Chain A
Amino acid sequence: MGSIRVENVVKRFGKVEALKGVRLQVQDQEFLVLLGPSGCGKTTLLRIVAGLETPTQGEVYIGERRVTHLPPRLRGIAMVFQNYAIFPHLTVYENVAFGLRMKRRPEAAIRQKVREVAALLRIEELLERYPAQLSGGQRQRVAVARALAVEPEVLLMDEPLSNLDALLRLEMRAELKRLLKETRTTTLYVTHDQVEAMSLADRIAVMRQGEIVQLGTPTEIYHHPADTFVGGFIGNPPMNFLPVVAEGGQVVLDGLRLPSPAERGPLLLGIRAEDLEVFPEPVEGGFAARVLVVEPLGPHLQLTLEREGTTFRALADPGFAAAPGATLYLRPKEGRVRFFHPETGKAL
């Protein structure tokens, strides 16, 4: 079936180590997103699974087959490229039919399959056109249609939405989600957009400098980041990190008392902006901070605050009265505080 297994894959380009021993398993019919900042090796990993790049070390399996040294055409994959890579000299119809023709399907079967995926992607009217006559969004659909037409075991996508404008991206994101629920194709999807990842993924693999630092469902990764990098990378605004000191197994911040994972010593307290309740007066279990910036964002008011030299953010109701310079009181919601090691950044 359409599972993917990547075992200890290392990839070096000369002196650059793009992947440092990656292990990853994508289940059959799963939608797994590779998420990470620019240059972390997402594309390299995807291309290794596609067979467009050979790993320096390690193995790749698709289904039960070891495909490490097979060329792309024998791997049962299809790929959607970031710039779509639609063949400019062929009509949309011929683009979508390309993979089927390579498989020497009978003409009638090809016609039927092209109509079917064209309907799925709503490009029936475009079939006779040439790519130069299409908009960005339409090209994107053609690229996806061409990939789905061959009924791949595994679908690989490299930032397929990054060349679309913001509005179209939202629309195509929802469309892709519907589509892949319908076709149930195992998908490995690369993006550096954390919102896209959260919205599409069954599971997210967060990458950093050639390594997978955390693998989990969007909720797990959002609420239980494995380290400060993941916490800071996922979510907008990023997770807040406040330096605190534990004593006698407790962390005390003004009125806030929390059991700490370490008996004593410095720690980082991680809390998301929306998990801080904001009060104008001192409250039981709250700590004080000074307001630096107030930004009305529509659904809520984003406050940038400062406490003992550390700035952090909190979200308040849009009607909340706050002015720069004022002192406010903040109380973390029950069970939302995380602790991290101050040097390694690892969750404790």
Chain B
Amino acid sequence: MRVWPWLLALAFTLWVLLPIYLIALSAFSPREAVYAWPKAFLPGSLSLETLRFFFGVEGVWRATATSLVVAGLTVAFSLLLGAPAGYALARFPFPGRDAFRVLLILTRAFPIVVLALPLAVLFLRVGLYDTPLGVALVHTALTLPFAVLVSASLFLSIPKELEEAAWTLGCTRTQAFVKVVLPLALPGLAATAIFAFITSWNEVFAASVLTLQNKTLTAYLLTLLDESPLPFKFAGGFFLVVPALVFLFLVRRYLFTLWGISHR
């Protein structure tokens, strides 16, 4: 009877999962297995050799540290700017509120490819070129629209009366926010944070164009990709994919509410 939807779903699932599986398999296989053809579909012998080699390469640790700094800064900026903006969108009717919402999404209409070169010139001039801060600012520009919209819908879902009750019980606006709204918003804000982290972690174009010495892991791997051996590519690919998977698993509930389908 209704077998087609299931088949379709299965096809899509395989489409996504198969490459990930193969990458993971290769990352944990010894060198010879990576080069072997035809590929073994089941792990023959697991080994950490490939991963060990990956982390032994000059500059990988430094790039990982840079990636962490950039992603951390991106998370901080996204939350510190995005949450208050989302709160304002949720609680205060101001002229042009709906237009503002649309504008937020429109910012994503400018491809980063177009923006990166002028930005590189500008960053060179103001001394942000080749700094983690510079890259983090660009990444924040990418994540901020979502941070604002997600936290706006988050704050909308917290009844205003809870805040008002806190005011009548002796809270200032700030105290009410910290004692009542924040604890309730925390899971959603965490999701926003992880989203910002992953976006920054995976972004490669801006990070490549705007840095020279201080490359993030993705940008660094890109420069190495051509001349590096196959096992290294697999190990690097695996290391880039894992955070995204963990993130998706953690926030799938919030993503569903975000698109208007309620969870539970």
Contact = CB atoms under 8 A, between A and B. Distances in A.
A72 B169 CA distance: 8
Interface residues of B, number: 16
Contact of B161 (A72, A81, A102): A81
Interface stretch (A83-91, A174-182, A221-229, A295-303): A83-91
Contact of B164 (A52, A98, A150): A52
A30 to B, nearest CB: 20
B169 A85 contact: no
Given A83-B159, A85-B159, A72 B164 contact: yes
Main secondary structure of the interface of B (DSSP, over half): helix
A14 B249 CA distance: 46
A102 B175 CA distance: 9
Interface in A64-120: 71-73, 77-79, 81, 83, 85-89, 98-99, 102-103
B184 A52 contact: no
Q: Quick one: which of B159, B167, B175 has the most chain A CB within 10 A? A: B167
Interface in B145-193: 159, 161-162, 164-172, 175, 180, 183-184
B171 A85 contact: no
B165 A85 contact: yes
Nearest to A88: B184
A89 B183 contact: yes
A79 B171 contact: no
A78 B168 contact: yes
Give the interface SS of chain A, mostly helix, strand, loop or mixed: loop
A73 B161 contact: no
Contact of A79 (B168, B180, B184): B168
B117 to A, nearest CB: 48
Contacts of B162: 85, 87-88
B164 A85 contact: yes
A305 interface: no
A71 B164 CA distance: 11
A40 B36 CA distance: 80
Contacts of B180: 87, 89
B168 A103 contact: no
A71 B172 contact: yes
A102 to B, nearest CB: 3
Interface string A172-208: 0000000000000000000000000000000000000
Nearest to B163: A85
A272 interface: no
Contacts of B170: 73, 99, 102-103, 150
Contacts of A103: 170
A150 B166 CA distance: 12
Contacts of B172: 71, 73
A100 to B, nearest CB: 9
A102 B171 contact: yes
Given A83-B159, A89-B183, A89-B184, A71 B167 contact: yes
Which of A73, A77, A83, A146 counts the most B-chain CB atoms under 10 A from its CB? A73
Contacts of A79: 164-165, 168
A73 B174 CA distance: 12
Contact of B169 (A78, A83, A89): A78
B161 A85 contact: yes
A150 B168 CA distance: 10
Given A79-B165, A87-B162, A99-B169, 18 more contacts: A51-B167, A52-B164, A52-B168, A71-B167, A72-B167, A73-B170, A73-B172, A78-B168, A79-B164, A81-B165, A86-B165, A87-B165, A87-B180, A89-B183, A102-B170, A102-B171, A102-B175, A146-B169
22 contacts: A51-B167, A51-B168, A71-B167, A72-B164, A73-B167, A73-B169, A78-B168, A79-B164, A81-B164, A81-B165, A85-B159, A85-B164, A85-B165, A87-B165, A87-B180, A88-B162, A88-B184, A89-B183, A102-B171, A146-B165, A146-B169, A150-B170
